[in-house]
A = this chain, B = another copy of it.
Amino acid sequence: MSEISSGNTRKVEVVPSPALFPVYFENTDCIVVVIDVFRATSAICAAFESGIDSLIPVATLEEAIAYKQKGFLVGAERNAEIVEGFDFGNSPLGFKDGQFKDQTLVLTTTNGTKAVDMAKPAHKVIIGAFTNLTAVCDYIEREDKDVLLLCAGWKDRFNLEDTLFAGAVVQKISQNLRFTNLSDSSIAAVNMFNAAEGDLYNFLGESSHRKRLSRLNMEEDIIYCLTLDQSNIVPVLEGDVIVSSNK
């Protein structure tokens, strides 16, 4: 009997919004990939690629302020801008010069870190972005678990860029026969990614978040966030702290 007919296939589901996470989170013994392409998870991947030791994601500004008062380096973003008084925001380019090498950072963002928070009861929570796509897929293939691709979205709304990344993961891992148990949301995401694959930048031209960032002159960030495989590190949550899986 093949793996498929013996029921050994692993379920892959795309969660279109954090507000739907409780609906999809039936089997907690799964890997949750947190996705916030513009820009929290791209920034976290860039931070690890630049050599940081670890990152503590916090959901609220209150927690971020508490860490700041304890002397931590703390980043905070709300509505796509750095919150006044904090050390950095969620621009991945802010980590390019390696200024935070070997440090522990704290970060709170509008959507991304909240998604990490809600996924904590899962077997593993990892951080995905186009910039570490292949590394994420390799990680998923090594673990024998179902997969939830959790799109952080924008204030609980569906968004295009996170769904496209989820579709890229589904496309890549479903070439492996153990991942053929696709949900409707996975089928939709992979179809969308197939349509967009040749030119993510233009496909996202009309998207709400790209327009939001463009108004803030963040075109460089957008291009960075849409460039595949700039890092082979998979940031993974251990307890309350994100560390590199490659250590």
Contact = CB atoms under 8 A, between A and B. Distances in A.
Interface of A: 14, 16-17, 19-20, 23-24, 154-160, 163, 182-185, 187-188, 191-192, 195, 206-209
B23 A156 contact: yes
A188 B160 contact: yes
How many copies altogether? Answer: 2
Nearest to A17: B20
B159 A184 contact: yes
A154, A184, A208 pick with most chain B CB within 10 angstroms: A184
B20 A188 contact: no
Contacts of A207: 184, 187
B208 A188 contact: no
A20 B206 contact: no
A158 B183 CA distance: 9
Contacts of A156: 20, 23
